[in-house]
Amino acid sequence: MNDEIKQYEVLIFDWDGTLMDSRADIVGCLKKAITACDLELPSDLRMASMIGLGLKEAFVQLFPDETSVSIDRLCDAYRTAFTHPEAKASALFPRVRETLNALKQNYILTVATGKSRRGLDHVLELSRLGEYFPITRTADETRSKPHPQMLHEIITDLDTTADKCLMIGDTDYDLNMATNARMDAVAVTCGMHEELRLEQANPLGMLTGVQMLPAWLAGRR
């Protein structure tokens, strides 16, 4: 990506690992699903590295030799664990709500996530963040990251262009999706992928969290 100073109109956020500190809870749900399907548990690190992909794509990566029927069983077991009545929403990262309040004054805020529609709606309701995001896209509605389809659909819905949008995410799936859409991207280092892996995807900036985004944007005007 070139480093030309741009005035963005749309900010597109990943969810898990970017706005919500959900690594432990997602890995916990993966463990429950895998155990329920009588499969051998991968390491926590391996499971966490899949977060950001669509659910089916993540299980295919974890269990490439399993049949499509087995993958579907894993997905169903995960959804059951994730939406169990006793399950609670993971905590937002520090100052996320305050940051979104500040950003919505000048930008359209959207979400592009590897979650399913059911999963995203669930956490939007529990976190009470739904009002901030007039447009959202999920992996089961489009295609899993790093394919750019969900970004293309957001661009179309808002009648804008890729150069007016900025992707914010914590994985190279997010950053590579933005590259594939010819869109700028910023990485946050509070989530799933380590800094070296993020750097290799060439983001415009590396932030410790979304609370740093307003200052970063102001510095590029």
Q: One-letter amino acid identity for 70?
A: S
The one catalytic residue in 3, 16, 21, 159 is 16
CA-to-CA distance for 107 and 165, rounded, in angstroms? 10
The residue behind tokens 């992707």 is: 167
* Residue-wise pLDDT tens digits, 34-63: 999 999 999 999 999 999 999 999 999 999
Our answer to whether residue 184 is catalytic in this structure is no
Closest CA to 52 of 138, 179, 152, 141: 138
CA distances from 145 to 7, 81, 128, 167, 183 (A): 25, 23, 25, 12, 14
Instruction: Give pLDDT < 50 ranges for the chain.
Output: 1-3
The one catalytic residue in 3, 14, 163, 184 is 14
User: Considering just the CA atoms, what is the radius of gyration of the chain in Å?
Assistant: 17
β-bridge partners, 92: 20
What one-character DSSP code corresponds to residue 80? Answer: H
pLDDT value of position 82: 85
The residue behind tokens 């100052």 is: 95
What are the structural domains, with CATH classification, of the chain? 10-21+90-219 (3.40.50.1000), 23-82 (1.10.150)
Backbone angles phi, psi at 37, to 5 degrees: -95, 10
Our answer to whether residue 16 is catalytic in this structure is yes
Query: The whole model's pTM is what?
Result: 0.91
* Residue-wise pLDDT tens digits, 95-104: 999 999 999 9
Cβ neighbours around 41 below 10 Å, total:
12
